[in-house]
Amino acid sequence: MELIDKILEWPVIIQGILGSFLFWVIFTIGQKIINLSTKKIKDENKLGQYFGKQARDNFYEDQYEFSNYNFFICLYGALHYFLKFSLFVFLSMIIKDFVPVFSYVGYLIALYFIFRALTYVTHFKVFEAEDNKNGRKHPIDEKIKKLDEEIQQLKK
């Protein structure tokens, strides 16, 4: 409190310069943090999609061991970040009564970890849209077509 009283004694122009400088520092640090976390989430998303796509492709090609391995990696990555999310939410709830500002920061960090966890859990529809865009057909499509033909033959 003593520091604030000393600053309030300074001329208004100096206080304005100091306030502008503090705003610039906070803005620059916030921008760097957002850029870094966005890049990190995009990289994690690519990695999660890679393992999810490998799991799906191996499953369709009847390579169940590799498929299970890739699914396990996706689940492990998601669970790893989900546990961090849970830990930060728990700690933030404990700290909430003592220092509310720290609990808000903890909730923001928890939000970051839940988004990182979600990057490992991609839906197969994402891959199907990508395959359709590239004109690639999966073995499952061929299997479905063969089964439809067999059903039509059995009906006759």
Condensed to tens digits (0 to 9), the pLDDT of residues 60-110 reads 788 888 888 988 988 998 999 999 999 999 999 999 988 888 999 999 999
Would 91 be classed as within a structural domain?
Answer: yes
Would 126 be classed as within a structural domain?
Answer: yes
Would 138 be classed as within a structural domain?
Answer: yes
Would 57 be classed as within a structural domain?
Answer: yes
Distance of CA 117 to the CA centre of its chain: 5
Between CA 131 and CA 42 the distance in angstroms is 20
**Closest C-alpha among 88, 135, 90 to residue 113:** 88
Would 16 be classed as within a structural domain?
Answer: no
pLDDT beyond 70 at 112? yes
Would 133 be classed as within a structural domain?
Answer: yes
Would 29 be classed as within a structural domain?
Answer: no
Does the CA dihedral 112-81-116-85 come out positive or negative?
negative
Between CA 42 and CA 63 the distance in angstroms is 28
Between CA 69 and CA 51 the distance in angstroms is 9
Domains held by the chain: number: 1
Distance of CA 48 to the CA centre of its chain: 9
Would 7 be classed as within a structural domain?
Answer: no
Between CA 89 and CA 109 the distance in angstroms is 9
Structural domain of 132: 43-150
Comparing 34-43, 104-113, 125-134, which segment has the lowest mean pLDDT? 125-134
